[in-house]
Amino acid sequence: MDRAILAGVFLMGLAGGAWAQAPASNASHPGSGKPGGAESDPSMAQAGRAHSDNTYVIGAADQLEISVWKELELSKTVTVRSDGKISLPLAGEIQAAGLTPLQLEGDIANRLRSFITEPEVTVIVQQINSQKYNVMGQVIRPGSYPLTITTTVMDAIANAGGFKDFAKKKDVRILRGKADGTETRLKFNYDAFVKGKNPQTNIKLQPGDTIVVN
């Protein structure tokens, strides 16, 4: 009998030790929100944040998404006005046109330092409206088109639906403005190009170019 009692006490002691250790195993469980969990790692919290472009130059009518880290009331989507400026809470009027998104981030952050300690600003161009080219004359869909990717004369004509029946395909003109206010006129002979001649005339368009098809 004494041996049976001792065995029972021994088994109860083992069970009690297992129950005592159970809560400790959950203290640092990933995702629990307590120290040691994935949610407490600041590097993981910021891993998905976007990086801004340092090559594109912002222009009037572009739509920008501006985010200030942990300041939702200061984060908003704005459109660059015709004067090239935007308006933001606390930061006020800021020149945006002519800057890259990365440069604009720095300007906004400098304005906010009077109100926020070490502000972290992200600027993303949501929609490009400032860079366009025009196609006029004897094409199916004349008008203005966004220049968001590399576009050649042939691409532009295709985007405009192609030539109308009586278009002068041998005498397509590209009008390109210069910084001094003058204009350059470039020629494109469609018939010659499709025959493999003068491939260099199928130039890449620049913002503001106008293609005229007579």
What is the CATH classification number for the domain harbouring 140? 3.10.560.10
Q: Do residues 148 and 167 both lie within one domain?
A: yes
Least confident of 28-32, 62-66, 90-94, 208-212: 28-32
- Residues with Cβ within 8 Å of 120's Cβ and at least 6 positions away in sequence, in order, are 68, 69, 109
Whether the predicted pLDDT of 19 surpasses 60: no
Residue 34 lies in a domain: no
Residues 158 and 197 in one domain: yes
pLDDT tens digit sequence for 90-140: 999 999 999 999 999 999 999 999 999 999 999 999 988 889 999 999 999
Q: Choose the final residue of a domain: 127, 147, 164.
A: 127
* CATH code assigned at 53: 3.30.1950.10
> In terms of domains, do 75 and 140 share one?
no
pLDDT at residue 213 tops 50: yes
Q: Is the dihedral of CA 90, 77, 123, 156 positive or negative?
A: negative
The confidence score (pLDDT) of residue 9 equals: 43
Per-residue pLDDT at 46 exceeds 50: no
Higher pLDDT, 167 or 180: 167
Task: In whole angstroms, give the CA distance from residue 55 to residue 61.
Answer: 18
d(CA 12, CA 130) in angstroms, rounded, equals 78
pLDDT value, residue 52: 55
Average pLDDT over residues 55-83: 93
In sequence order, which ranges of 26-69 are alpha helices (DSSP H)? Answer: 42-45
**Residue 98 and residue 151 in one domain:** no
Q: Higher confidence at residue 170 or residue 24? A: 170
- For the chain, the domain total comes to 2
Residue 189: domain span: 132-213
**Are residues 102 and 122 in contact, defined by beta-carbon separation less than 8 angstroms?**
no
Q: Report pLDDT for 45.
A: 34
| Mean pLDDT score, 27-45 | 38
Q: Give the helix, strand, coil percentages of the chain, each rounded to 5.
A: 30, 25, 45
Are 123 and 136 members of one domain? Answer: no
Do 105 and 159 sit in the same domain of this protein?
no
Q: Output 181 or 21, whichever has higher pLDDT.
A: 181
Q: Are residues 122 and 173 in the same domain?
A: no
Contact at 8 Å (CB) between 199 and 193?
A: yes
